[in-house]
Every structure is written in structure tokens, then in C-alpha cells.
Structure 1
Amino acid sequence: MSPRHTAWFAWRPGSHLAPARPPDAPVLAADSWLVQDGRARFTAGHRARFLAACRAAGAGRGLDADGFFTQALARLPRTGAWFPRVELLGGARPVLGLRLRPCPERTGQARLSCWYGPDPRTCPTRKGPDLAALAGLRAHARGRGADDYLLTTPDGRASEATSATLLWWQDGRLCLPAPGLPVLPGITAAWITARATRLGIPLTPRDVRPADLSGHEVWLVNALHGIRPVTAWPHTPYRAGPAERAADWQRAWQDAARPLPAPRVPRPSARQAARP
């Protein structure tokens, strides 16, 4: 397969993934992660989040989302850089599919601006339904010299970026948005907080407004870029704090990649095995 080629594979429960044309249907659930030369990070977490999203979307057991995810992992290329996405597409008959995409450009830092307009999300705690709206908002940010927008609640509290979890350092503590805010459960963020706990670093959930982040080391974290320190706040009066901890954590994130499970070789049927 060409490294520039994007393909879509449909899941036939109890069978296999086959090349197909994706149906023109809304995305009910989705998940994606970075694959580099057959290595990926936290696939168990992405599986669990995707299965939970399928259940929340009302997907029936007959679709076998767990079996589909196993086959999707087996179908991924073992060379090159990819950013595959598993999808549950809705309609009269929901269908599971794998969108095999080449890896987009990745960066090690981010310019973050603030979005104070209407929140475009309709389902902020489930990845999938809001992907198109968030991509449009992110494109708007890039048109204004930023990499992403920081979303806020109606009362002005910072929640997350359009494509990443918000984390920051304050008083020697790793801080995260307070529980109850409308945010997507982040797989990369979960790894970061677990590592912080192992290292004895205090974790502190806090309600903050964007102004409270000024001067602190702020991170945007997700499965594509890993950990990106915020190095500029375009179109705001805020200033970026020094990225003193990011490099060490970025190295640890790089080292967290593990080989994908070996592709399963189909067993021949009894009739095939009997052929000379």
C-alpha cells in the first residue's frame, strides 16, 4: 500500500475486514492512535474507550466491536507512519470500519488560542459525533496563527482543546481540569497521570480560567502528538511559561510504544488442507 494512500475497510461480523466504500452516514463513535513501524501506544486503552463509545451509541452486540478491534490491529501496516481510525458509522444499519490514514504532520509544541464562541460539541464525552465540527474549529484557529483552540464552559472555565487534553504544572503539581467538566476521557492523559502517580508527583484537579494558566507550563496531550508544551498564546494577553518538564516526558512517551500484536494467519479449511 502506498504511504500516501487512504483506505476504508468494512467489518463483517464473524468474518474479516474487506476494502469497501464508506457509507454516507454520521460518525457515532471513533478512536485513533499513532502507529510507527508496527509500534503503537496504549492500544488497550483505545480499545476500551472505543467499545464504551459504541455501547453509549447504542450499538448492538451483533456488531462484535471487540472482534472488529482485534482484526483492525491485525490489519495495520508494520512499516511507515500511520494514524488509523476505527469508526462506528450510523444509519439504518450501523457499520464498523477501519479508516487507514497516513500520519499527518506532527509537532512537538503548540500555539494555543482561546475560543469564546458557542461550543460546537453535541457529545463532548464520546469521540466521534463532533469530529467534523471540531476539525472545522481547529482549521479556524490555524487560520489565525494558532494550532488549536482552548474551549471554555459558559461560565468561563477552561476544559480542553479541540483535539487534546489540557494539563498544566503549578506549584510542583501536575494539574488537570476539575471533575464534571465536559471533556473526552484522554488515553494519553491517563498514561501521564498514572506515571506521575508512580513518580510521586501530586495530581491536582482545578477549576481554572484561561488567564490562570498564563505563565505556567501548559501541555496539550493526545495520541497523535503525544505531549506538546504551549509555547505561545496568539490573540490573548497570556504568556507561555517555560517548558521545563516537557522534554523528559516526551522521551518517556516515545519509549512507551510497543509492537502491535502479530497478524493472525488464517488457518486453512479441512478441504484446503487435504489438497495436494
Structure 2
Amino acid sequence: MAQATSTRLYWDPDVGLRPGDTPRTGLLAADSWLVTDGTARAVERHRDRFARACAAAGVSRLTTECFWQDALAAIPPHGDWFPRAELHTDGRLAFLLRAAPPRGTSLRVLVWSGPDPRTRPRVKGPDLERLAGVRQRAVRAGADEALLCTDSDLLMESTTSALLWWEGDTLCLPSQRLRVLPSVTAALLVERARELGIRVRQRHARLQALDGRETWLVNALHGIRAVTEWTGSRVRPGAAERAPAWRAHLESLRLPLTGRPDPHTPR
């Protein structure tokens, strides 16, 4: 049976989630994660990132927690889903239940030469529409994704993903002093590298530094996608030799959405 494309539910503290009109407001915060047959990876980290953004907008942690529990309960136990928690500019909390789009393991990337469209780069949500516009222009140029840079051409992140690459046996990522979103998936991979004794290095890097290097764009939906083309550039993509093993690690982190006590849940 086919899954419904998407349903947006608004949260009322007295009645829980219920259908509502199409929103005419923007987003103050949003967070998405992949759910496969009732399991998800690091969902508590997505909750915490969303809760921090909500708290900055004046929503209490208890309110966000109650909303989040209702949202998880609304996800069907079977099928592939890519739900999104939302805080709208009118103060309403909403839950977008949507079928997961097709996932991939590789992609072509255009280094974006235009201005950085983000107004709040360390918060997910406010700039989603602007970033989608940049990605659409990258697709028209023959790529699948656009990679954002600073004014001095330092690599930051793509419109939907964090950037990671390998320099020999060192796992590299852009300096966290740059305007980048704290990525849940990138953090999981960095933690795994440290568990294995692999050196992790934050770098200020330009595109040429990635010539011939295995490079990944990572996010909650796709996990790891290896860059197979730097669209419009002579920079050569590196072979994705490490990616399969690291994808397997991410898959091993899936846990049921319910049935396990969460140490962050208020008692």
C-alpha cells in the first residue's frame, strides 16, 4: 500500500496533534529524521537540537517535550518516513508526517559561487526555502546539490548536508568556527572515528584541497553520499572506498522509536 505524500498536524497542549490549514507563516525551527519500520538513528539528538532552537524562541523545554512525544506516537510503525518537527513564526508547533523520498549513495556537487543565502546558519528551519532555491539552481546546472562557501571560498556545507572528507587516514571537516549547522549525522561519524582511534581534524579548506580525496555529504535522510563529480570544476573526486563500512555503522545505530527509556526524558 502506498504511503500518503504528507500530512501536517498542529499541536494543541489540550488535545494533542490535529489537522490544520496550510501554514502561511515561516519557520523559526525545524528538524527531520529518517524512520524505517519504526526505527530511527539518534532521534534524541534531533529532539535536543530542535528543543534548543525552540527555547531560543521562547518555547519551554517541557512544552517541546510533550509535543515531541505526541509527534513520535503519530509515526506509523511500518514504512519509510521522513517526518519534520516545526516551530512556526506564529508560535505554533507542527508535525509534518511525510513519506521518505528516494535515498542515494552518491551525488554530483556544484560549488556555489553566489552569495550565502542563509540568515541563521546555525539554526535549522528559517532558511530552508532559500536553500531549496539554491539547490534548484544547482540542479539546473547539472548537479544534485550545491556546496556553500565563505566570501574567501572556504568550504562550509551544502544546502542539505554536512561536509566530510579524508586526507590519508585523517577524517576532516570544516572548522566549526565557520557558519555551519551542527549536524547530527556528522557528529555520529566523528564520534565513531575517535572510537576507532582515527584522527579527526577541523580545517579551513578550499575546493582544490579535495582534489582526488574521498568526500562525503552526510545528513539524516541519506546518511553518507559520496561526491562523484565536482560539477563545472577540474577537481577530481576521490574513490568512495571507506563509505560502505561507515554506512553500515550508521545503520547499526538504529533503535526503535519506543520501548527504550530515554535518559533525557523528564520524569
Q: Name the TM-score, length of structure 1 as normaliser.
A: 0.90
* CA displacement at 1:62 relative to structure 2: 8.9
Moved over 4 A (4+): none
Provide, for residues 19-49 of structure 1, a one-character-per-residue CA deviation record: whole Å limited to 9, x for no partner: 2224311111000011111111100100010
Contact 2:55-2:61 within 8 A present in 1 as well: no
In structure 2, C-alpha distance between the alignment counterparts of 1:206 and 1:260, rounded to whole Å: 35
* CA displacement at 1:63 relative to structure 2: 7.9
Question: What is the identity, as a one-letter code, of the residue corresponding to 1:41?
Answer: R
In structure 1, C-alpha distance between the alignment counterparts of 2:135 and 2:220, rounded to whole Å: 16
Aligned residue in 1 for 2:265: none
2:33 matches 1:33: yes
2:172 matches 1:175: yes
Contact 2:161-2:217 within 8 A present in 1 as well: yes
- What is the number of equivalent residue pairs in this alignment? 260
Report the structure number with the largest CA radius of gyration: 1
Contact 1:63-1:95 within 8 A present in 2 as well: no
Aligned residue in 2 for 1:229: 226
* CA displacement at 1:208 relative to structure 2: 0.2
Contact 2:54-2:60 within 8 A present in 1 as well: no
In structure 2, C-alpha distance between the alignment counterparts of 1:246 and 1:176, rounded to whole Å: 15
Contact 1:13-1:62 within 8 A present in 2 as well: no
In structure 2, C-alpha distance between the alignment counterparts of 1:76 and 1:98, rounded to whole Å: 10
RMSD (Å), alpha carbons: 1.6
Provide the secondary structure at the position in 1 that maps to 2:122.
coil
In structure 2, C-alpha distance between the alignment counterparts of 1:179 and 1:142, rounded to whole Å: 27
In structure 1, C-alpha distance between the alignment counterparts of 2:235 and 2:194, rounded to whole Å: 29
* CA displacement at 1:4 relative to structure 2: 2.9
Structure 1: runs of 5+ lacking an equivalent: 263-276
Residues 62/83 of structure 1: CA separation in 2 closer, same or farther (3 Å cut): closer
Matches within 5 A, 1:161-172: 161-172=158-169
2:217 matches 1:220: yes
Provide the secondary structure at the position in 2 that maps to 1:221.
strand
Contact 2:51-2:61 within 8 A present in 1 as well: no
Larger CA deviation: 1-10 vs 208-217:
1-10
* CA displacement at 1:155 relative to structure 2: 1.1
Aligned residue in 2 for 1:274: none
Aligned residue in 2 for 1:97: 94
Aligned residue in 1 for 2:200: 203
Q: Which of these residues, 246, 249, 252, is aligned with residue 252 of structure 1?
A: 249
In structure 2, C-alpha distance between the alignment counterparts of 1:63 and 1:122, rounded to whole Å: 28
Aligned residue in 2 for 1:270: none
Contact 1:10-1:20 within 8 A present in 2 as well: yes
Provide, for residues 137-189 of structure 1, a one-character-per-residue CA deviation record: whole Å limited to 9, x for no partner: 11111122211111100111000111000000002100011121000000001
2:21 matches 1:24: no
Provide the secondary structure at the position in 1 that maps to 2:69.
helix
In structure 1, C-alpha distance between the alignment counterparts of 2:23 and 2:231, rounded to whole Å: 39
Provide the secondary structure at the position in 1 that maps to 2:212.
coil
Structure 2: runs of 5+ lacking an equivalent: 260-267
Contact 1:13-1:63 within 8 A present in 2 as well: no
* CA displacement at 1:2 relative to structure 2: 5.3
Matches within 5 A, 1:148-159: 148-159=145-156
Provide, for residues 232-261 of structure 1, a one-character-per-residue CA deviation record: whole Å limited to 9, x for no partner: 111111110111100100111122111111
Question: What is the identity, as a one-letter code, of the residue corresponding to 2:168?
Answer: D
Matches within 5 A, 1:1-276: 3-56=3-56, 58-61=57-60, 64-91=63-90, 94-261=91-258
Provide, for residues 33-76 of structure 1, a one-character-per-residue CA deviation record: whole Å limited to 9, x for no partner: 111111111001000100011122x2333981111111111111
Contact 1:215-1:240 within 8 A present in 2 as well: yes
Provide the secondary structure at the position in 2 that maps to 1:132.
helix
In structure 2, C-alpha distance between the alignment counterparts of 1:254 and 1:65, rounded to whole Å: 27
Provide, for residues 105-137 of structure 1, a one-character-per-residue CA deviation record: whole Å limited to 9, x for no partner: 211111111101111101100000000011111
Residues 148/62 of structure 1: CA separation in 2 closer, same or farther (3 Å cut): closer
